């Protein structure tokens, strides 16, 4: 939503004779809004809302749908770290009889479908739902949010709230850009230091272990797939969109790096200025990992 400014001239009064001349406005800054209470390293602001909505379209086009797990008609669906809610809203349309619940730190800004419910909460404190509540649990792009040591307990929690026989699906993307040009390599080095400062996965290799982490959490029928999206117009419309998406994500995270790491902002700007050309020239691709798994029916008998 565009900012609206309204100018109010202070009224002259007998005790305040100082209002002649230009009105001094506060300085305009390009600062991004970051949360300070959690490790999350992407901004939480209107530019990021736009990016997440845009990214949703890319992933849906690449997957030719909203999920890959073999679900039927889930009565209850949970979207963990639901962001702007686009995935949840699509699921509300696709499954009008289902109840879809999204949980996130940030409340969304959209009009909510009737069969959607938003829960505000910090998932690092555990999911505020009863055991065996959901038939399908979806969690996407929380690599930038959850510290490495929190992942096992988060996946245990996903298992706890999933009904026996229900499915969980995770999607993450990370450092898997091929080929890796010099500008992107430099950006990843900064991002690794940024992630370390926040306790997050520093090499970005966690997505490769989604399947083993799901198995560790007790899930069965674990399946992992990868899909690559071109980075740049060389890959058609989706490539062009993906280049914009990744550039904006890196620009967002990059906005916090100078203050956090004591790096000149111009260094980050210089790297950013090369990225899109580098991807286009190299015909680079970005790899996503998608893993899905089923909670054993056995779990019901053991409880
Ligand atoms: C990269 S976005 C992904 C959003 C959504 N899953 C999607 O695919 O568009 C990560 C989301 O996780 C949320 N988040 C970060 N840390 C969180 C936490 N500790 N508890 C709950 N939500 C969190 C952020 O507010 C953000 O909406």
Domain boundaries, the chain: 46-296
pLDDT confidence band for 198 (50 / 70 / 90)? confident
Q: How far is residue 254's CA from residue 223's CA, in Å, rounded to a whole number?
A: 33
13 C-alpha to center of ligand 1: Å? 50
pLDDT digits (tens, 9 = 90+) for 105-114: 998 878 899 9
| Lowest-confidence segment of 19-23, 82-86, 145-149 by average pLDDT | 19-23
Query: Residues of 39-63 as b/e, b for ≥16 C-beta within 10 angstroms?
Result: bbbbbbbeebbebbeebbebbeebe
Contact 177, 286 (CB under 8 A): yes
Task: Show the tokens assigned to 139.
Answer: 């969690």
For ligand 1, the distance from its centroid to the CA atom of residue 42, given in whole angstroms, is 9
The answer to whether residue 11 scores a pLDDT higher than 90 is no
Q: What is the 3-state secondary structure (H, E, C) of 203-226?
A: CCCHHHHHHHHHHHCCCEEEEEEE
pLDDT at 90 over 90: yes
pTM: 0.89
Regarding the beta carbon of 160 and ligand 1, being less than 6 Å apart is answered no
Please give the pLDDT value at position 113: 95
**Ligand 1 atom 26, closest CA:** 83
pLDDT averaged over every residue in the chain: 89
Beta strand 134-140 pairing with 116-120: unpaired
Structure confidence at residue 3 as a pLDDT band (50, 70, 90): very low
Nearest Cα residue to 115 out of 103, 101, 99: 99
Residue 105 Cβ inside 6 Å of ligand 1? The answer reads: yes
- Write the CATH number of the domain with boundaries 46-296: 3.40.50.150
Place of tokens 């298992």: 159
How many A from CA of 55 to the centre of ligand 1? 13
Residue 60's pLDDT is: 98
Instruction: Please state the φ and ψ torsions of residue 156, each to the nearest 5 degrees.
Output: -60, -40
Asked whether 200 and 39 are in contact (CB, 8 A), the reply is: yes
Residue nearest to atom 13 of ligand 1 (CA): 81
**Segment 205-233 mean pLDDT:** 97
Sheet holding 162-178, edge to edge: 116-120, 99-104, 76-80, 134-140, 162-178, 285-294, 220-230
Q: What is the DSSP letter of 233?
A: G
Q: At which residue do the structure tokens 């091929």 appear?
A: 178
- Structure token digits, residue 57: 């379209």
């Amino acid at each position: 939503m565009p900012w609206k400014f309204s100018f109010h001239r202070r009224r002259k009064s007998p005790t305040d004779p100082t209002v002649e001349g230009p009105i001094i406005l506060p300085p305009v800054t390009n600062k991004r809004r970051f949360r300070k209470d959690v490790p999350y390293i992407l901004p939480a602001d209107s530019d990021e809302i736009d990016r997440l909505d845009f990214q949703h379209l890319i992933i849906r086009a690449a997957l030719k749908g909203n999920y890959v797990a073999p679900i039927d008609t889930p009565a209850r669906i949970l979207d963990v770290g639901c962001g702007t809610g686009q995935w949840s809203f699509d699921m509300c349309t696709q499954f009008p009889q289902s109840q879809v619940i999204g949980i996130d730190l940030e409340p969304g800004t959209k009009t909510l479908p009737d069969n959607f419910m938003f829960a505000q909460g910090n998932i690092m404190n555990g999911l505020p739902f009863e055991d065996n509540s959901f038939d399908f649990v979806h969690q996407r792009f929380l690599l930038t949010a959850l510290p490495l040591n929190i992942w096992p307990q988060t996946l245990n929690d996903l298992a706890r709230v999933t009904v026996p026989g229900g499915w969980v699906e995770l999607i993450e993307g990370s450092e898997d850009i091929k080929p890796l040009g010099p500008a992107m390599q430099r950006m990843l080095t900064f991002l690794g230091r940024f992630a370390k400062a926040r306790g997050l996965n520093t090499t970005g290799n966690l997505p490769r272990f989604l399947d083993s982490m799901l198995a560790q959490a007790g899930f069965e029928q674990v399946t992992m797939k990868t899909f690559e999206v071109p980075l740049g117009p060389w890959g058609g419309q989706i490539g062009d969109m993906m280049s914009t998406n990744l550039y904006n994500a890196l620009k967002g995270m990059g906005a916090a790096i100078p203050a956090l790491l004591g790096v000149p902002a111009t260094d980050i700007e210089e790297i950013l200025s090369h990225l899109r050309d580098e991807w286009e020239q190299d015909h680079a691709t970005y790899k996503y990992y998608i893993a899905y798994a089923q909670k054993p029916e056995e779990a019901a008998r053991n409880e």
